[in-house]
């Protein structure tokens, strides 16, 4: 049975002590998507949304979110982020925007939460900027697709 590391022997939530862990290079990638209607898809694609550059704003929001992850997730360590990149792919066949965040650090703990947070906030920002056109957008499939570094090594879903 796995022991959940964020609980002490009494079952109380606690921040994991990473002070004895070695510094290692760590990378993580997360993805997710937002499904929209044709009008929103066209506005994003053509840059005609009334609130401005949807994907540019969503990218900045995601970067900011990654940098503030430990302020939002209670037991998450603040870590130095050496890289955070967020890319979007417009998928006409599914009327969706696919988001991918990749981050790197050299530290004592992983950077998975930062990429998951970045994707989530990026997609929420797209929703916020487009909700005047339709409230029926659906955010889904937010998940970790790759991580490397630390004692557990590589995890991958095989997605690109």
Residue pointed to by tokens 């840059």: 47
Q: Is 77 labelled a binding residue?
A: yes
Q: Is 143 labelled a binding residue?
A: no
Measured between alpha carbons, how far is 105 from 157 in angstroms, rounded to an integer?
21
- Residue closest to 41 by CA, chosen among 87, 86, 94: 94
Q: Is 130 labelled a binding residue?
A: no
Q: Is 35 labelled a binding residue?
A: no
Tell me, yes or no, if 93 is annotated catalytic.
Answer: no
Q: Is 114 labelled a binding residue?
A: yes
The answer to whether 115 and 102 are in contact (CB under 8 A) is yes
Find the catalytic residue in 20, 128, 134, 141. Answer: 128
Q: How far is residue 117 from each of residues 31, 66, 110, 114, measured CA to CA in Å? A: 10, 6, 13, 5
Measured between alpha carbons, how far is 39 from 27 in angstroms, rounded to an integer?
36
The annotation places the binding site for substrate at 75-77, 113-114
The annotation places the binding site at 75-77, 113-114
Catalytic annotation, residues: 128
């Amino acid at each position: 049975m796995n022991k959940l590391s964020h609980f002490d022997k009494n079952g109380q939530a606690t921040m994991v002590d990473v002070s004895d862990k070695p510094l290692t290079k760590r990378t993580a990638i997360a993805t997710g998507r937002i499904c929209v209607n044709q009008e929103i898809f066209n506005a994003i694609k053509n840059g005609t949304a009334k609130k401005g550059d949807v994907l540019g704003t969503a990218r900045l929001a995601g970067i900011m979110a990654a940098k503030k992850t430990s302020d939002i997730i209670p037991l998450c360590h603040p870590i130095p982020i050496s890289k955070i990149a967020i890319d979007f792919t417009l998928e006409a066949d599914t009327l969706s925007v696919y988001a991918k965040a990749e981050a790197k650090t050299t530290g004592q703990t992983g950077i998975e939460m930062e990429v998951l947070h970045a994707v989530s906030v990026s997609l929420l920002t797209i929703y916020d900027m487009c909700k005047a056109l339709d409230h029926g957008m659906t955010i889904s499939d937010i998940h970790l697709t790759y991580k490397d570094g630390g004692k557990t090594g590589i995890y991958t879903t095989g997605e690109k």
